[in-house]
Structure 1
Amino acid sequence: MKKTILVILFNFIILSIYGQYKTPDSLSINKNIKFKYQALVIPTTLIAYGVIGLESHTLKDINTDTKEEINEHIDNKFTIDDFSQYSAFLSVYALNTVGIKGKNNFKDRTIVLASAYLIMGTTVNLIKMTGNELRPDGTSNNSFPSGHTATAFMGAEFLYQEYKDVSIWYGISGYLVAAGTGFFRMYNDRHWFSDVAAGAGIGILSTKMAYWFHPLIKRTIFKNKESLNGIIMPVYNGKQYGLGMSMSF
């Protein structure tokens, strides 16, 4: 099972490298652009920590110690992480609604967000289905990686990319909320620290990949689409809260 997880993550990272190494123009005129390795350092380090944590006794001890330290200070559980995971990327639309414009228009940022969500969601669910990591509360064997944390950090990177030229503080606030989401996943005894680390890395890298591939996606899929309409709505399946996205073009 762990070999399958490694293969999925390896292909995930290779795709991200390809996305930054080639532009849509390079596909037609074979022109390479400069590869920025530093963009991969943080997310791949977080992912590597999480993967190593599946086997390393030292990192497993850190997981256990972190759980015990948090449990000592728990009075009541809070499900704020079910909602905070979405706050960063929803903030992008809220800010645009009140007139604070980001990098992209509605069409382009929605394509980026949908792409990032698809990449992140597919990666997380594939790993969860092929893995066998028991949750701290013992309820299921799909602990690795943290999907809530991946969603939160995907949104934080999205907020950062859209508003870093307006004010760096938008991005910082998004990452603080994302870190809080990861903390509450541990606080609520749903994830180990290594699950949260890997989820954060996957979330960040998914958004970076979405921006790198956006010119190609826009050119090939949305080439003749002048407008894009969409709606984001809350959903509830009786056990979990979430958001659904519908787009027409």
Structure 2
Amino acid sequence: MRIISSLLLAGWLTIGAAQAQIPQNPAAAPADTAKKYANPAGVPPPMKQPWYRGKLVRATAIPALLIGYGASTINGNGFYSSYDARNDIRRQFPNFHTKVDDYLILAPYAELALVELAGVEGRNDRLNTLLVILKSEAIFGLSTYVIKNTTKVLRPDGSTRNSFPSGHTAQAFLAASIVHTEFRDKSQWYGIGAYTIASSVGVLRMLNNRHWQSDVVAGAGLGILSAHLGYLSHRNRWGRKPLPGKYGFGPLLYPGATGLTVVWRP
């Protein structure tokens, strides 16, 4: 009997020792839920872009180069000055004269209206496009008036002292920039056509002896800059609920006057 008790005690002690040697799983630590909503998808934070890739820099870089180059070639300044360009033009086209440039300044807007009527959707709806145009035109008009009356550069034909910059060229390039921005995602050819028209306006202003080279180049930069600032200052606040009825816009062209028409039908 004592032998049996001893055997049972020894077996119980052996089993207890074996169980003591088996590693036990520690209790799992409670999850930290203090920041569970900070980044639920685990997406890494976006890297900050360098300053030269910002919207403002991209919008002003090319216009600043054009305006700067134009200003550097006023009168006899620069490697190829405005005087040099005028002498070459007068030598090749001594009696050139046309009024086509007075009508081509809004031709890019005519392209914009025709493309819209053809059913091609632009970057913005018609109302927001119109608002961008109005803001860009206001920036262009005010800045052109101030610069012309500050610099007081004499025109090549000696008529007035409001030559710099070319308002015709600035207006044409403003409209071309609107066309390019609205339809560049559809086709680059819309913008190429509009900028070709705008460049033709600048060339005709020099051929007509109404503007210097400096006026035209700076005017192109000012027009592009005005359009870019119009877009940068716009946040599509009117795009959520369109106006009732039908509305549209287009150029107004007839002898002696140019402008922009806005039509709304309830």
Which TM-score band applies after superposition, normalised by the shorter structure? 0.7 to 0.9
Q: Within 5 Å, give how 1:1-249 maps onto structure 2.
A: 35-36=54-55, 37-54=57-74, 57-59=76-78, 62-74=81-93, 75-215=95-235, 218-219=236-237, 222=238, 226-227=242-243, 229=247, 231-232=249-250, 234=252, 240-246=256-262
**Secondary structure in structure 1 of the residue aligned to 2:78:** helix
Q: CA deviation at 1:230?
A: 5.4
* Larger helix fraction of residues: 1
Considering only CA atoms, is the larger Rg found in Structure 1 or Structure 2?
A: 2
Unaligned runs of at least 5 residues, structure 2: 1-47
Q: Distance in 1 between matches of 2:222 and 2:188?
A: 22
| Cα drift, residue 39 of structure 1 | 3.2
**TM-score normalised by structure 1 residue count:** 0.75
* Matched letter for residue 241 of structure 1: A
Post-superposition offset of 1:231: 4.5
Stretch deviating more after TM superposition (97-106 or 174-183): 97-106
RMSD of the alignment, in Å? 2.7
Offset of residue 174 of structure 1:
1.0
Partner SS, residue 227 of structure 1? coil
Q: 2:110 is matched by which residue type in structure 1?
A: L
Mapped partners of 2:141, 2:112: distance in 1: 20
Q: Distance in 1 between the 2:257 and 2:165 partners?
A: 18
CA distance in 1, matches of 2:163, 2:79: 13
Q: Distance in 2 between matches of 1:188 and 1:48?
A: 24
Structure possessing the higher relative contact order (Cα contacts under 8 Å, 6 or more residues apart): 1
Alignment length (residue pairs):
211
> What are structure 1's unaligned runs of at least 5 residues?
1-31
Identity %: 34
